[in-house]
Amino acid sequence: MVSFEPLFASGHHEIKMPSSRNKNTTLTADDKPLVWVDLEMSGLDINQDCIIEAAVIITDGNLNAVDNGISIPVQRSKAVMDNMNEWCISTHGLSGLTKQVLSSPYSPQEVSGVCYEYIKRWIPDPRVAVIAGNTVHMDLRFLEMDAHKEGWSQIASHLGYRVVDVSSFKEIARRWYPNLPLKSKQASTHRAIADYGIIYSALDDIRASIDELKYYKQSMFKPTK
C-alpha cells in the first residue's frame, strides 16, 4: 500500500499523492487512458454497505502505469465493521484492513475527494477515460449509487460509460482459445493469507489485473500493420 503522510490544514487531513516521473504530463483521449479501480466494501448491498478502502491506478491504453497508484483506508466505526458478514470479517481481519479502517484518519468524503482529484490530475477532461478492473461492475455500482452521499459519484461521473473488464477476456479465452493457458489473477485475499501468509492489498489486486490483461493482449490479439 502506498503510504500517506497526514498533513493538517483547516481541520482536515491532506493526503500526499505518490511521486511520478512525469509530474507535468496529463493523459488525453489520444492516450486512451484506463482508470483501474479496486474497492473493498463492508458487503455487497449497495444500499446498506459502504466502501472501506479505495485503490486507483491509472494507465494509458497500452497498460503503462503513470505512477504507483493510491490506496487509502476509509474511516469507519467499529459498529460498521462488526456488522459485516462472516467472509468480510475474516478476510479483512486477516489482511489487516479492519485495523487500518478503524485507525484511519481519513473520512469517506476525504478519500473520495482525493481519488477524484488524483484522477483529474492525470486525466483532466471528463469522460475521456473508462473504468477498468476485474469483475469491476460492482465497484462501479458503488461509485454510481453513492448511497451514503459521500462523494463517490463524482468519480463515476468523470469517467466514460464503457467498462474494461478483464474477466470478459478470460471468458473469451475459455471459449475461443481453449488451448491457451489461462493467466489467473493472484489468489483471493482470504486464500492468499490463509494458505501462504501473504498480505494482499487492493493495489495488489489491480496490479494482478493489469498483468492479466497484458497476458491476454499478447496472447490473443495480433498487432495491426
What is the SS3 assignment for 14? strand
Cβ burial, residue 57 (10 Å; 0-12/13-18/19+): buried
Residue 34, C-alpha cell as written in the block: 484506463
- The residue among 216, 218, 220, 186 whose CA lies nearest residue 38 is 186
Q: Are 210 and 65 in contact (CB under 8 A)?
A: yes
For the record, the C-alpha cell of 156 comes out as: 463515476
CA distance 180 to 188: 22
Query: 161, 177, 200, 215: which one is catalytic?
Result: 161
Task: Determine whether 196 is an active site residue.
Answer: no
Residues taking part in catalysis = 161
